[in-house]
Amino acid sequence: MTDIRFHEMPDGRRIAFRHLEGNGPTLVFLPGYMSDMAGGKATALFAEAEAQGRGCLLLDYSGCGQSSGDFADGTLSRWRDEVLALVEANAEGPILLVGSSMGGWLMLLVAEKLGERLAGVVGIAAAPDFTRWGYTDEQRSTLANGSAVYEDNPYGPEPTPTHPGFYADAERQLRLDKEIAIDCPVRLLHGQRDADVPWEICMRLSEALRSDAVQVTLVKDGDHRLSREQDIALLKATVASFY
């Protein structure tokens, strides 16, 4: 296993990451909300990259995993800038972005900044604009008024928080209701039994992307995580198509 290293941001935040140098575009994995680089999909892709001699970059957003910072300070734009800083500092040449859930929203923001370096984009249960379609009017009002919202967490004992700072920033990062200026090949994977992100969001995203090279794969019995053995195999095969 490649050792975890730390990248220091200008304000002193220390961002934990793992990096492999290798052939082809460097795969950059963007975890979901409150997730980190120790997750099953991230570690599977890293191991595959190591076995195939490919470049790969994993990271923990500030306030997550082994990175410093308070999760309550996290926003899409803050995490986007962290990803871009790590790419600039560690990876040369083309970049392949792989984003899971919220990471599928973040990958759009990163992709727009990478320009000609962008080799491709892979979304796994991508959740762009979830602050619009994923909350009730009452929850959105609570957030807009400066208070946090807490929801039941199906993946752990503690409730999942959404902080007003994240919400305010997210309102400036909405993408589904306009053309998304991404022209590279895009692959979108989504389970049709996803209880967190409706698979119809995947279809809306495919329509909003400017690229014509968009392929959508729906997994009829797949859930939100898409982390079963057959789901990981599909993800690996999808990634391999870019090499």
Which residues are designated catalytic?
101, 194, 224
The pair of structure tokens assigned to 171 is 């309102």
Cβ neighbours for 13, distance < 8 A, ≥ 6 positions apart: 62, 67, 68, 69, 82
Residue given tokens 């491709």 in the structure block: 120
CA dist., res. 127 & res. 134, Å (int): 9
Give the C-alpha separation, 206 to 199, whole Å: 11
| Strand-by-strand arrangement of the 5-8 sheet | 5-8, 14-20, 54-59, 23-30, 95-100, 118-124, 186-191, 214-219
Are residues 125 and 197 in contact, defined by beta-carbon separation less than 8 angstroms? yes
Distance CA 164, CA 173 (A): 14
Which regions of 60-94 does DSSP assign to beta strands (E)? none
Tokens matching residue 149:
């919202």
